[in-house]
Amino acid sequence: MIDWRGRFLGARRGVRGAPMVTYGLIAACCLLFVSSPVAGLDPAYGTGDELLAAQGSYFHRWGVVPAELTGGDPHALLTPLTALFVHGSWLHLLGNMLFLYVFGAMAEERMGPLGFCLFYLGTGYVALCGYAVAHADSEQTLVGASGAISAVLGAFLFLFPRSRVTSLFPFLFFLPLRFPAWIVLIFWFTLQWLAARAAGAGPGVAYLAHVVGFSVGFLYAWGRFRGGDRVKAQAAATEGESQP
């Protein structure tokens, strides 16, 4: 699902080096996941009910519980940061890391390593807090890098609107078609917004965190880079069916 050959075609010529922050974030998420009880690889966590209990404790400790965050629990104030590195399944992890790998490198090259790192963590925190405020009474745990990655997509839309994105659409029989980034990302945002309106606070995808993250990421890029030239390169990235 990734156009490996063209991932950096949209970056400015003469890239300063590998996107180490993007790679570091991916490595951190993957390493933490495989060492967690969610991956099911460590026999020390046991099996059956014992494993499920370990997973529940893991999510509650490091994930966002809206009722606790909005209730002022001091520990809960840190969870929007820790939750960015926690994922609920292999599919959840791989889908998020796919999007971060494709879109994060170019955003990092434009913002710089330190700026991108602070952007990623800050917007991810805001996205998860936004969901928690909207569902203040929810006891459901929220985990994943979706909010931060959605912010990367929002920034990408402003910074690289004319980049060419190869996408696979189920309703078009999964044909690989190339569109400008602004078409693909606005379409993606619209789907998230519609899903957020229909979703509740129960288990499932936190679409509202996607909407908040995307909006904050776009506004940040607009505020910081609107006085300069946006990159008009022809990027080749691939968006699959999986959502961050």
Q: Is residue 62 part of a domain?
A: yes
Which pLDDT score, from 0 to 100, does residue 202 have? Answer: 56
> For the chain, how are helix, strand and coil distributed in percent, rounded to 5?
60, 5, 30
**Domain boundaries, position 172:** 4-239
Give the CATH number, domain containing residue 222: 1.20.1540.10
Predicted local confidence at residue 57, as pLDDT: 94
Cα–Cα distance between 110 and 106 in angstroms, integer?
6
Q: Is residue 71 part of a domain?
A: yes
177 φ, ψ (degrees, to nearest 5): -120, 145
* CA gap 113, 239 in Å, rounded: 23
At position 236, the amino acid (one-letter code) is: A
Structural domain total, the chain: 1
Position 44 in a domain: yes
> Between β-strands 164-168 and 176-180, what pairing exists: parallel, antiparallel or unpaired?
antiparallel
Give the H/E segment covering residue 80: helix 79-82
Instruction: Give the residues of the chain that fall short of pLDDT 50.
Output: 1-15, 168-175, 177, 232-244
What are the structure tokens assigned to 55, written together? Answer: 């997973």
Q: What is the pLDDT of residues 31-75, one digit of tens each?
A: 999 999 999 898 899 889 999 999 999 999 999 999 999 988 888
At residue 16, the pLDDT reads: 59
Does residue 244 fall inside a structural domain?
Answer: no
- 234: in domain: yes
Query: Is 167 contained in some domain?
Result: yes
In DSSP terms, 192 is beta-bridged to: none
